[in-house]
Structure 1
Amino acid sequence: ADYVFIGHSHFDHIAGAEIIAANTGAKVIGSNETARVLIESGIPNDQLLRAQGGEHFRLSDDVTVRVYPSLHSCIWSTASSIPKEVVLGDYGLTEDQRWSSPRVRPQPSSDDPQEVREMA
């Protein structure tokens, strides 16, 4: 692995990241809390890329990742039918993010079924 992305530092998302990072040398992109937990697990600081939202990480000539602030209220994750586009879950879009790009797939940030239908 070259990169490991951690959406937030709950154990069900971060568990095992230290093993992957230690065994592969992969850079881990996550929050300050993610970095703290991984440093305590023995991962060197230079392997950790901290993100809070708004950052762009250029991973290669063809791949750039934009980090959105996590609202931690996503109900599901989706894979888009648009080539080269993938949406990973555990975030909800704010109104300004919702229409920022035709490639952004809205995900609900509410458990209210009516609001979910309106975003779809």
Structure 2
Amino acid sequence: IPKSLEESQHIQVLDLSFNLLEGEIPSGGKFANLSAESFLGNYALCGVPKFHVPLCLDKTERQSKSNAAKVIAACAIGGSALLFIVCPLIGISCYQKRGCRSVLTTLKDYKELHSQ
């Protein structure tokens, strides 16, 4: 919402509800007399509590949240990639060190031992 609307002398009635607006709601001028109903349905707005919208974050807070999301995403992707690499390596290592046999071979041997 442009700050210039705050000081406009020509506005008599202002209802901005359900217009997909975003950003800070000005709190002075004509906006000082508006109620929360004037902004219904605009879920990306922020401002003072009387408008029943979230408080606006300053630029550093927005950047901080954005950076945190990037770090979390990078850790999740890195962790997944590591699992996809490490698990097969452990399986190969087990197979080579122990001479692991397949489960079917083991079951076949078990049946032969107990059928005699």
Length-normalised TM-score, structure 2 = 0.24
Between structures 1 and 2, the one with greater helix share: 2
Between structure 1 and structure 2, the one with the greater Rg is: 2
Length-normalised TM-score, structure 1 = 0.24
Between structures 1 and 2, the one with greater strand share: 1
